[in-house]
Amino acid sequence: MNESIFTDDFPEISTDKELQKIIMKFPEYDPYYYIASGCIKERKEMFNSLWQIYHPLADKIFLSDCKKNFHQRAWEMYLGVALIKNGLDISSSGKGPDFVVNKGKENEIFIEATACKRGDTKDAVPEEYFAEKPEEIRVLDVPYDRMLIRLTNSLDYKYKKYKDFIEKKEKPYIIAINRAGLGYIDDIPLILKCLFGLGFQSFKIINGKLFNVGWERKKQFLKKTVQRSQFHFHFLRKETIIL
């Protein structure tokens, strides 16, 4: 077993300039998750402590895939460790979803971990803008529709990937999705807007008083790469759970 999840011997760094030099040496690697985490002592120790617990469940390509998809793999590892620490009977066979709880038993549950990426098309979620000086402050819209597109794509992909497998098993299937890679702050969890077609919270002023009149419904949103995308999750059966 590898003692560290980082199979490259990165030096410890203390400045962004040092980090950029290492990133230039490994252009094919995930720069700000894999390389930065492997170069910063506290982050490296944290991930390695999780790895010591998780490694028996890791598939054969886990460590090599971490180099390019560290955020996705780290989320899978974090979730697996959380399940283990909560005393669940968890296993991973390499076939089907990432984890099986109570394998072979009546109360068997399948769990698939996935993490959203910002994307690389016209619908990609832009990087957050942070002003460093007062004169650099700008008013920008939060790209809710683009983030919802990334969420729906992730959910749809993971459902279709294991659709036949799950239907044969007739057991609960959990898609545990991490949206942290998209950035920005939610007003309510973005996954709720995605699943239930929620828009924005609405208010009315009546006789000089402000009243909350609930949430708008949003049945569809426009994409730049295709004409229209529907908020219609016909594939979500009652036993399919989204975290």
The mean pLDDT value for 125-150 works out to: 87
Between 190 and 237, the more confident residue is 190
pLDDT over threshold 50, residue 238: no
pLDDT of residue 220: 67
111 Cα distance to chain centroid: 14
Cα distances from 219 to residues 161, 172, 196, 197, 230, in angstroms, run 25, 27, 9, 6, 6
Given a contact cutoff of 8 angstroms between Cβ atoms, the answer to whether 111 and 79 are in contact is: yes
Closest CA to 198 of 206, 189, 207: 189
pLDDT number for residue 195: 83
Question: Average model confidence (pLDDT) for the chain?
Answer: 86
Does the structure show a pLDDT above 80 at 222?
A: no
* Helices 70-85/41-54 angle, 10° precision: 60
Residue 63 in contact with residue 5, Cβ under 8 Å? yes
Q: Answer yes or no: are the C-beta atoms of 158 and 112 closer than 8 Å.
A: yes
Q: How far apart are the C-alpha atoms of 137 and 47, rounded to whole Å?
A: 35
Degrees to nearest 5, angle at CA 116 with 197 and 217: 10
Q: What is the rounded average pLDDT of the residues 223-233?
A: 48
Rounded CA gap, 219 and 28, in Å? 39
Gyration radius from the chain CA atoms: 21
Span 198-211, pLDDT tens digits? 888 888 899 989 98
Joined tokens for residue 6: 């980082």
Residue 49, SS3 per DSSP: helix
What local confidence, expressed as pLDDT, does residue 243 receive? 44
User: Confidence band (pLDDT; 50, 70, 90) for 223?
Assistant: low
pLDDT tens digits, residue range 67-106? Answer: 999 999 999 999 999 999 999 999 987 778 999 999 989 9
Name beta bridge partners: 174: 111, 241
Percent of the chain with pLDDT over 90: 48
Asked whether residue 237 carries a pLDDT value surpassing 70, the answer given is no
CB atoms within 10 A of CB 190: 21
Q: Give the phi and the psi of residue 203 in degrees, each rounded to 5.
A: -135, 155
The first and second tokens of residue 154, run together, are 């992730």
pTM of the predicted structure, to 2 decimals: 0.82
pLDDT in tens, 157-180: 999 999 998 889 899 999 999 998
Task: Identify which has the larger pLDDT, 90 or 129.
Answer: 90
Q: Would you mind telling me the total number of residues written for the chain in this entry?
A: 243
pLDDT at 235 over 80: no
Domain boundaries, the chain: 1-87, 114-243
The rounded percent of the chain whose pLDDT value lies above 70 is 89
